[in-house]
Amino acid sequence: MMCGKAGPYQPILSEYPTYNSKKHPRYFQPSWFKQFSWLEYSPSNDALFYLPCSLFNSNASSHFGSTPFTQSGFSNWKKVHDTCNCVSLTHMGKDMNSLHNNAQLSLDRQTTQQIATNCLRLKSNIDVVRWLSFQGCAFRGHDESSGLKNRGNFLELLSLLASYDEKVEDVLESAPQNASYTSSTIQKEIWQIYANRVRNVNREEIGDRKFSIIVDEARDESKKEQMAIILRFVDKQGQLTSGKGINQIGTLQRPGETRWSSHLNSVTSLLKMYNATSTIVENLKNITSNYSQRGDAHNAYNKLRSFEFIFILHMMKEVLGLKDDGWNELLKNVISFCETWELDFPDMNAQYIVGRSHNKKEDVTVEHHYRVDILFAKINTQLFNEHVVELLTLTTALDPNEFFKLFDIDKICVL
């Protein structure tokens, strides 16, 4: 019996040996593979075998013609299409519990189980490769023998995953030597697939627009060279975008002093990492021994958990992003965020109270305060800063009314 990589061995030859009579020569027909998918052909024996029965028929009986198809092979070609005694149909049997049908059922069940096992084993290896790649860690150790306590990052991390999942542990321990997917070749193939996917995403995002690549290298304290690669390009919206390095993934962005996009990145990062940031600040106010730092952390935590902070955070995301989705959409996002993280938010129709004193009241609602006093005021500040106002003032020098009455050469020079 010969098994291919997937299923029975079914070679398509240009010529097959003839059988018996010279007057009526008969030979194997490859079209039989399509009629009976479980057939396999041995060129050396010029004989047929039935794969399911060969693998799973534990009964040595020749019932239903099992012996020729599992041991010596079948080569009496004239009986293949005998209408009443078709050898293939006879072997299969009419009963669903026949040896052939039972063997086929066992094969299908074994195939499904094997696929699931291989997928779980491969997925575990892919997860380890992805984590090590994103963190910029080495994969292999100097010695990966089974008796060592430290066999390198890849195998040790794989063992850690297995310790938290019995199914993963079982499939890894029962993996055959030629299908464990832990070799350096498999690791490189997985890593190459990731690299190709990242490269394709970059190509689609950049397209035919301008880009630049900056490569910087420095020597650390251990005298090893560390290299950083930065990709900068102009996106579809005409905004300049900088690629994030490994150490910047999942971290709060430090805002620049002049770049508008830098402030937007800071606000967006804080929104994405709000829960983690709140947890860290809360831990700081509980574990720090310095009273001053503890007070700062306590105040920062209260600010983070306040509705006003959440509102301004979402508002700045809209303003800095140059988006005008409307007040209702902004308020909807703020309230949804508060509900997600179980934060208190006020009644927008209630009367707004200035400060902590209940005696100081203005005849405005909470909604009016956030919409007019904060949102509109911030938009006006961004749109009509000192430079913009000065520019508008200087443009009056070009007013053609009344024969350029306001014409001023000094203002035009400044303009």
Contacts of residue 346, defined as CB under 8 A and 6 or more positions apart, other chains included, come to 307, 366
pLDDT tens digits, 127-159: 888 888 877 787 776 666 666 777 778 888 888
Do the domain assignments include residue 322? Answer: yes
* SS3 sequence of the chain: CCECCCCECCCCCCCCCEECCCCCCEECCCCHHHHCCCEEEECCCCEEEEHHHHHHCCCCCCHHHHHHHHHHCECCHHHCCCCCCCHHHHHHCCCCCCHHHHHHHHHHHHHHHHHHHHHHHHHHHHHHHHHHHHHCCCCCCCCCCCCCCCCCHHHHHHHHHHHCCHHHHHHHHCCCHHHCCCCHHHHHHHHHHHHHHHHHHHHHHHCCCCEEEEEEEEECCCCCEEEEEEEEEECCCCCEEECCCHHHCCCCCCCCCCCHHHHHHHHHHHHHCHHHHHHHHHHHHHHCCCHHHHHHHHHHHHHHCCHHHHHHHHHHHHHHCCCCCCHHHHHHHHHHHHHHCCCCCCCCCCEEECCCCCCCEEEEEHHHHHHHHHHHHHHHHHHCCHHHHHHHHHHHHHCCHHHHCCCCHHHHHHC
Name the token pair of 336. Answer: 């949804």
Q: Is the pTM of this model over 0.85?
A: no
For residues 170 and 71, state if they share a domain.
Answer: no
Neighbours of 369 (CB within 10 A): 20
Res 224: pLDDT: 72
Q: Which of residues 34, 61, 94 is at a domain's end?
A: 94
For residues 126 and 205, state if they share a domain.
Answer: yes
CA 121 – CA 124 distance, rounded (Å): 5
CA 398 – CA 369 distance, rounded (Å): 39
Do the domain assignments include residue 254? Answer: no
For residues 158 and 195, state if they share a domain.
Answer: yes
Res 232: pLDDT: 78
Res 98: pLDDT: 58
Neighbours of 56 (CB within 10 A): 18
The number of angstroms, rounded, from the C-alpha of 152 to the middle of its chain's C-alpha atoms is: 25
For residues 148 and 210, state if they share a domain.
Answer: yes
Q: Range of 69's domain?
A: 18-94
CA 345, 351, 354: angle at the middle one, nearest 5? 85
CB-based contact 352:400 (threshold 8 Å): no
Do the domain assignments include residue 159? Answer: yes
For residues 152 and 234, state if they share a domain.
Answer: yes
pLDDT tens digits, 326-358: 677 778 888 888 888 888 888 888 888 876 555
Res 314: pLDDT: 84
CA 353 – CA 364 distance, rounded (Å): 9
For residues 388 and 369, state if they share a domain.
Answer: no
Do the domain assignments include residue 30? Answer: yes
Res 282: pLDDT: 81
For residues 124 and 209, state if they share a domain.
Answer: yes
For residues 72 and 137, state if they share a domain.
Answer: no
Do the domain assignments include residue 44? Answer: yes
Do the domain assignments include residue 253? Answer: no
CA 313 – CA 374 distance, rounded (Å): 12
Do the domain assignments include residue 22? Answer: yes
Res 55: pLDDT: 57
For residues 403 and 326, state if they share a domain.
Answer: no
CA 283 – CA 281 distance, rounded (Å): 5
Domain count for the chain, please give it: 4
CA 326 – CA 309 distance, rounded (Å): 19
Contacts of residue 26, defined as CB under 8 A and 6 or more positions apart, other chains included, come to 18, 19, 20, 77, 78
List the chain residues with pLDDT less than 50. Answer: 1-5, 60-65, 83-89, 93, 244-261, 322-325, 412, 415
Do the domain assignments include residue 358? Answer: yes
For residues 208 and 281, state if they share a domain.
Answer: no
Res 257: pLDDT: 40
CA 386 – CA 389 distance, rounded (Å): 5
For residues 126 and 234, state if they share a domain.
Answer: yes
Q: Is 91 exposed, middle or buried (0-12, 13-18, 19+ CB in 10 A)?
A: buried
Residue 343 φ then ψ, to 5°: -105, 150
For residues 399 and 343, state if they share a domain.
Answer: no
